[in-house]
Amino acid sequence: MLSRQRLLIIEDVSLIALDIQRVLEDANAEQAVFARDFGDARKHAERFADFDLAIVNPPGRDVSEIETAALLASAGPAIVVCSATMTDFAGTPLAGAEVITKPFADGDLLAACHRALSRRAG
């Protein structure tokens, strides 16, 4: 399902980021790049269009994080937001993203990735 997909994972909890990586690599994803938050992800901004899929936490309230989320969304990768609290991103740069709530099962993450990639392709 994720064969040869290039991934960006924005997750501040290392164990969760590694678990996401494990699930996606088991689904044959090609490459994963990690960032702790959108501020950290900003260093990859010139490569945002190279990613097929981004699995992200919601951006913080910091203007630069919101701007980076907007850059990511406009670059075109499919986006899945993993959040323990927020589920409605209307009016934000992530309004069109798939959303799953933490904690989530491996299958739920893969299903959200598939929906996001299908919507991107369509």
Residue 21 lies in a domain: yes
Residue 122 pLDDT level (bands cut at 50, 70, 90)? low
Residue 88 lies in a domain: yes
In which domain, by residue range, is 38 found?
6-121
Cβ atoms of residues 91 and 74 within 8 Å: no
Q: Residue 105, exposed/middle/buried by CB under 10 A (0-12, 13-18, 19+)?
A: exposed
Is the pTM above the cut of 0.75? yes
Tokens describing residue 89: 């991103």
For residue 58, cis peptide bond before it (omega within 30 degrees of 0): no
Residue 1 lies in a domain: no
Residue 110 lies in a domain: yes
Segment 14-51, tens digit of pLDDT: 999 999 999 998 998 888 899 999 999 999 999 999 99
Q: How many domains does the chain have?
A: 1
Closest to 41 measured CA to CA, from 65, 58, 16? 65
Segment 77-94, tens digit of pLDDT: 999 999 988 778 888 899
CATH number of the structural domain spanning residue 26: 3.40.50.2300
